[in-house]
Structure 1
Amino acid sequence: MMEAHPPVRDSAYAVETYDEAYYRSVLRNERYRSHRWRLKWVDYCLDPRPGERIVDLGCGPGLLAKHLASRGAIVHGVDLSPLAVEFARRHNAAYPNCTFAVADASCCRHLPDCSFDKACSVDVTEHCGYETMCGIFAEAHRLLKPGGLYFIYTPNPRHWIEVCRRHHFILKPFPGHTGLRNAEVIIDALRKTGFEIVRHIRPPSMIPVVQWLEKLWSLQPLLPELGVYRIVLLAAKRGG
């Protein structure tokens, strides 16, 4: 069943809310298991290669861009927050193949059509409203060459951690995650934008003990989504 699309605080909220302390905390994640888990799926799905042009839509302080650039890709990151872009430029100063611009990810007027091989939006869609998300998808479609790949990684609102947050049980909701959506909604929006789904992966958490519990849940017909930690999608622009 498709979910409704209630109005949520959108991109401007992130610009106003995420300060220097927030971006510093994000960059500290580079040392943690959660970041390595994220990059595992980036490498598996997007498979960044030397010389490929990749656009990072919603780049934040540049953690993912750094990883892509270290693989030899030519990376361009965009973010609506000037502060995020400032952090991204500093964090990637050692990579001349990595550039950034302050821009709305749904309207990158400085970039020409069909100018990238691949695109990504990692931990982005949960921060924006439905219409903005669709706008980002449309922009990714415009920027990609025919057959180009688009990678999306976002929290699964049906995962047990997100369920606990939503009901204020032990955990509190993350204030920035105002646009959590089920995979069906994201897939439907991608298809309407002109993409076809190449991969839909349902990974568990990155902690082995928790993975065991989540695998048990996945065997129950009424509880399978409780064990799906993230929504991982790879889409291809039609026409390639």
Structure 2
Amino acid sequence: MTTDIYSLKLGVNSCYLIRGKNIVMVDAGPPWRLKAFKRKLARLYIRPEEIKLIVLTHSHFDHVGSAKEIKEFTGAKILIHETEKEYLEEGGFIMPKGTNTMGRITKFLFFPILKRIQFDRPEADITILSENFPLDEYGIDGSVIHTPGHTHGSLSVLLRTGEVFAGCLAHNGFPFRLMPGKPIYAEDINEVRESWKKLIKMGAKTVFPGHGKPFPVEVIKRELSLE
């Protein structure tokens, strides 16, 4: 199977389109980004109905804020981890702990503002727990994988060719990190480490983070070796 990958910058988020027979979208960006999404699709000559599945890596507002509008515009189904479903559909915001000084400072500054953000929320169509969700149905040689750490229900998409769409299991860019690496927020940093070990063992080669540009998985390997 051959796949094409398109990066969509929606606000401070990096969202992705993975194209096989159909298109799978990874994350939906912050609220009120439908117009920007439409413009980017038009520039890529992609019809909205080509997108059949939206994988939400976790339920934080900057990854799901435009999911309802994009779902209605494309007709795509939404997939999320079972433990994130309630937050997606009903609201609520658990801010992970800061894993370094930058994380602790920005959590203190921004959390009171972030938890007040309101937006229209979608319903999930598909939920998974610990099992992998293969993407063969969409003509994509890869799977959705449970990779807890940033949140307990975080998901990643791993392709057989080594591209991993990791959501906030990695950061690469201001205001999160100046250099690529593990996230500056995590509900459980030990789970972050174990998830990365699993992804590397499964063949991850290039990291496509939820914030910032792609980078080689060797960056993560070096961080793990130094701990």
- Tell me the TM-score range normalised by the shorter chain: 0.3 to 0.5
- Where is the strand percentage greater, Structure 1 or Structure 2? 2
- Where is the helix percentage greater, Structure 1 or Structure 2? 1
Rg bigger for which structure?
1
* Normalised TM-score (structure 1): 0.36
* Normalised TM-score (structure 2): 0.38
